[in-house]
A and B are shown apart, each in its own frame.
Chain A
Amino acid sequence: MDWLPILGVLIVVLGLALGSKFNVNPLISVLLGGFVSGLLGGLSVLEILEIIGTSFISNRTMILFLIMIPAIGITERHGLMEQMAHLISKLKAATPGRIAYIYQLIREFIVAIGINIAGQVAFVRPIIYPMARGSLGNKEISEDDEEQIKAMSAAADNFGNFFAQNVFPAAAGLLLIQGVMREMGYELTLTSLSRAAVPIAIIAAVYGFFYYTILDRRFKKGENK
């Protein structure tokens, strides 16, 4: 019965997939799945709690962005979003898709030179989404279009970040690859690894152009200029 710990994975996957239907929060599915996997994998309850505790504490960096929220939040109450929309409304050629795509390219560039920032928090929420929304002017748009613009802005950050990050020779991903491969007897240089990451970064940039051009079409309907 070596495969028993997989039941925990099943719980997590089912919980996430059916959770919104039956109103089960992802935190509960994850908690349950983790405990089931751990217990079936031969860990004691105390060991499981220790693993959860240690791992949560060392991953507080993931929510370090809490420190910037008050300073940004107060400017939002004084019109940060309105100012962003005002600035972008001056650009006649701007559309939600073009803004998102240009941001993807900028994000690819900065991550490729090794600058890793929480783009979703630092750029997408305060800058990119308001710019993308502002590009449609002050006209009313449907809630579905609103959601679409938000999703397009957030996706641009992920596309840019993921597919260009390993171009930087000291990227965390490359250090991990180097370490794992060394353990298994392959000595690889970071330069050779970073070179291998270039084609996908370029492909993502090219695909992004077409992708966002297609996504943009829905916003052109009904426009008379």
Chain B
Amino acid sequence: MPQQEPLYDHNQLTSYIEAHRGEPASLIQVLSQIQQAAGYLPKPVLVEAADALGLSLTEVYGTASFYAFFIFRPRGRHGIALCNGTACYVKGAAAVKARLEQELGIKAPDTTPDRRFSLDVVRCIGCCALAPVVTVDEDVHAGVDPEKVPGILEQYK
């Protein structure tokens, strides 16, 4: 499967950066906007951001890499997040993770070669009452057990 770079609108990303030129305190805001638009943080854009905000590239990387939210490689079309909060853990999240990895043929946090799915393990998404929980994009799947995994994946082409 050929690896395709996702198309992001470079001008749009530049406009986020330019809106905060000279404001180093806005770094996280800018990074969030870039990631929201592009799906990840492309290196050339980070170079631009560092320059505009008046930070060094290492400062930008140092901050961005500190936060679990920021990612530096393009992701799949659908983002799967397995919750590994306490409630999900005691209710069997580990078995769900194993099944997800088996079905997708990848380990978290990776992306399938066809770029259909990315798999992440996250810390508590605050749906503890419905544990174990898996989110795919914006959808929350509650009370997931390993048998339900193929059916859930089937819903996302």
Bound pair (A, B): no
Binding site for A on B (CB under 8 A): none
